[in-house]
Structure formats: structure tokens, C-alpha cells
Amino acid sequence: MTDIDSFNFFNLVSEFSSKESLIQTGQEGYLQNKEALKQLKSQQVMWEDILKFSGAFSVGSVFVPFPLITLFGAGATAAALEFHLAVSRLAAVTEMLLGHFGERNITITPRVKTDEGIIDLLVKFPDRRIFAFMLKSKGTAFVKWREDRQHFFISNRKKGGKRITRDPELIKLSSKLNRMSLALKKEKNPLKGLSNTELNKITIKAIVLTGETKVDPNNDPALFVDFGRARVLRVQAESSIYVLNQDDDLINFLMPTEKT
């Protein structure tokens, strides 16, 4: 349990509510694999304690009661909730990948900083395949890509939900992911590799949809491609970026293509 009596809620949220605060770094650089997961889970518990203390958290759900907004302000409350969910997503995906591939067969680095922003997860395999992931949830929703409009659209997955809206956040995220991936090479980031061969190797980019957010199965069939051992949505915007479901696709997406 966090010693919540010793800090001011607003000041704590202000201190930790930045993208920088989620970077997992140790004395020798970024934390990876089990060490990174341990720190992510520690941060997850910290945010849960904060939200329980403030009254904004209950088992199985996250909510914002009126007293909390009155005492601490809507901005601080929203930031606390956002960062609890962000850390929870990172921890869940990291744990899932380690559980499947094992410590020796994968290198997972959460929250990799570049001059263009922060990559949620950088994943590398012994065969030098490298992936840059951004994790995103849009609630109970389907995600659709319109090639003719070069834009993402969101529709509600609940029964009877037919409202379809443009989603500028996802198109900005795909553009940012491309810039961040290019920055890894430009900055000669050692996480990508030390040799010119490794630095020049293409970073495979994907937006991973988490929770109840899913790729709309009614996307244009021509947009679905086979990658690894999964069938996923490929978006051609500034560059080629994949969009996939965490639970349904991620493990198979990372598996090497079966040789025939």
C-alpha cells in the first residue's frame, strides 16, 4: 500500500502526469522484460492506491465521483485515471508476451524515448526482427480504415450502436509512430542495434487495440493481409502501419512466418 497520507493528491498527479514519468529506466538504461514488468506493476499498484484513496477507484471499474472532482479538480482526476489505465495496458501486454515467448526469446522495452515522442513498446527478437507498438483503447468500439478518405473511423460495438465518427487521434498516432520509428535509426538508438545492418533494418509498426476496442471485421477485405501467423489490417498512410487486436492477433503477429 502506498503511503498516501504523506502527499498531496494534486501535486502527485502533476508530478507523475507526463509521458516522461512512464519511461522505465534503471541505472544502466531502460528496464526490460521481467525487470520492466516488475516496475510497471509497482506503478500500477501506486495508481490504484491513489485512486482508492481519492475515491475514484473501485474493484472491476474506474469511475469519477463528484466529491473527487470538487476536491482535486477534473484535470488532476482525469490524469490519474489516464495514467492508471496506461500503465495497466503496458503491464498486461508485457506480461502476455513474456508468458508466451519466455525471457530468452524476446526483448521487450516499454516507453522508449525518441525526439519525436515515446514508443509504448519496442519488441525485438533474436532473429533481429524489431517491432514498435502503440497501445490504444477507444472503449467499446470498432475501428475502420477508409482508404479513399485516408482516415480512421470509429463505431460503437454495443448492440444497436450505429454512430460512426472520424477519429483524428488514431491518424495522428499512426503518423507519430512512423516518425518515432524513423527517429530510432536517425538517433542511432542502441535499442535498435549497434551495427549498420541492425540500424537500417525496417522497424515493423503497429497500433495494438486493447480491451473492448477491436478492428472492424467489415473493413474492406483488400486491407487485410497475412503477417507472421495472423491476418491483420494494413493501413497505407504516410507509411505501412498495421492495426491489430491484442487478444486475437498480437501473439500470432509476432510469430515468424511458417516455412513451407
Mean per-residue pLDDT of the chain: 83
Q: How far apart are CA 9 and CA 68, in angstroms?
A: 10
Residue from 96, 95, 127, 139 nearest 204 by CA: 127
- Supply the pTM of this predicted model: 0.83
Confidence of residue 257 (pLDDT cuts 50, 70, 90): confident
What is the model's pLDDT at position 239?
A: 85
Query: Does position 60 have pLDDT exceeding 60, yes or no?
Result: no
What is the model's pLDDT at position 82?
A: 81
Where is pLDDT greater, at 227 or 13? 227
Convert the pLDDT of each residue in 133-153 to its tens digit.
Answer: 999 999 999 999 999 999 999
What is the model's pLDDT at position 44?
A: 87
Whether residue 136 contacts residue 210, with contact meaning beta carbons closer than 8 Å, is answered with yes
Q: What's the farthest any 2 CA atoms get from each other in the chain?
A: 63
Where is pLDDT greater, at 44 or 177? 177
What is the model's pLDDT at position 70?
A: 43
CA 55 from chain centre, in angstroms, equals: 26
CA 134 from chain centre, in angstroms, equals: 4
Query: According to the 3-state scheme, what is the secondary structure of 34-60?
Result: HHHHHHHHHHHHHHHHHHHHHCCEECC
What is the model's pLDDT at position 46?
A: 82
Convert the pLDDT of each residue in 187-218 to its tens digit.
Answer: 999 999 889 999 999 999 999 999 999 999 99
Query: According to the 3-state scheme, what is the secondary structure of the chain?
Result: CCCHHHCCHHHHHHHHCCHHHHCCEECCEECCHHHHHHHHHHHHHHHHHHHHHHCCEECCEECCCHHHHHHHCHHHHHHHHHHHHHHHHHHHHHHHHHHHHCCCCCEEEEEEEECCEEEEEEEECCCCCEEEEEEECCCCEEEEEECCCCEEEEEECCCCCCCEEECHHHHHHHHHHHHHHHHHHHCCCCCCCCCHHHHHCCCEEEEEECCCEEECCCCCHHHEEEECCEEEEEEECCCEEEEEEHHHHHHHHHCCCCCC
What is the model's pLDDT at position 25?
A: 56
38 Cβ contact list (under 8 Å, min separation 6)? none
Convert the pLDDT of each residue in 24-39 to its tens digit.
Answer: 555 457 899 999 999 9
